[in-house]
């Protein structure tokens, strides 16, 4: 595969992932919650991020500390809640957009890993023949 074709494939993968996820984000909130795009753990993380942003600490209920969550994801969500104030829906959409971008970047990275493995595998196979 030539370099220009590789770039086109990478750009295509990136755009496909972003467009697909953003089409999910464009759904009404009730559709997202009802059809499985958001599940109970999502709301658990959202509530903890909101509590952190309002100064209530790392807690789901605002009283008892918790460590039963994915800290990196929750800490990435905290700024969304901080800037949203009392709006509870906008941070959810912001989180979905962030997830879409992370998925697209992951797709590109996996593509490059696959290409590297193919190139490196060919080089190794060529050196074994000799």
How large a percentage of the chain has pLDDT more than 90?
A: 35
- The conformation of residue 104, written as its DSSP 8-state character, comes to H
Determine, yes or no, domain membership for 28: yes
Determine, yes or no, domain membership for 24: yes
Q: Cα–Cα distance between 129 and 64 in angstroms, integer?
A: 64
Q: What is the pLDDT of residues 55-100, one digit of tens each?
A: 999 999 888 999 889 999 999 999 999 999 899 999 999 999 898 8
Q: Cα–Cα distance between 117 and 18 in angstroms, integer?
A: 25
Determine, yes or no, domain membership for 27: yes
Q: Is the pLDDT of residue 116 over 80?
A: no
Determine, yes or no, domain membership for 111: no
Determine, yes or no, domain membership for 115: no
The pLDDT assigned to 16 comes to 84
Structural domain of residue 36, as residue ranges?
A: 3-105
Of the ranges 37-41, 44-48, 86-90, which one carries the lowest mean pLDDT score? 37-41
Determine, yes or no, domain membership for 112: no
Across 76-94, b (16+ Cβ under 10 Å) vs e yields bbbebbeebeeeeeebbbb
Q: Is the pLDDT of residue 125 over 60?
A: no
| Residue 49: band (very low, low, confident or very high) from pLDDT cuts 50, 70, 90 | very high
Looking at the 3D structure of the chain, how many domains does it have?
A: 1
| Residue 51: band (very low, low, confident or very high) from pLDDT cuts 50, 70, 90 | very high
Q: What is the pLDDT of residues 11-23, one digit of tens each?
A: 887 788 788 888 8
Closest by Cα among 20, 37, 29 to 100: 20
Determine, yes or no, domain membership for 83: yes
Q: Is the pLDDT of residue 130 over 50?
A: no
| Residue 44: band (very low, low, confident or very high) from pLDDT cuts 50, 70, 90 | very high
The overall average pLDDT reported for the chain is: 83
Determine, yes or no, domain membership for 46: yes
């Amino acid at each position: 595969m030539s370099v220009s074709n590789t770039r086109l494939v990478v750009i295509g993968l990136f755009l496909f992932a972003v467009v697909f996820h953003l089409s999910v984000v464009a759904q009404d909130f009730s559709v997202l919650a009802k059809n499985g795009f958001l599940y109970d753990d999502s709301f658990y993380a959202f509530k903890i991020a909101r509590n952190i942003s309002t100064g209530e600490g790392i807690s789901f209920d605002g009283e008892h500390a918790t460590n039963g969550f994915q800290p990196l994801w929750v800490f990435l969500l905290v700024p969304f809640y901080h800037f949203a104030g009392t709006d509870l829906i906008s941070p959810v959409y912001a989180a979905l957009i962030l997830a879409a971008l992370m998925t697209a970047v992951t797709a590109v990275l996996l593509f490059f890993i696959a290409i590297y493995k193919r190139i490196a595998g060919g080089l190794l196979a060529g050196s074994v023949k000799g």
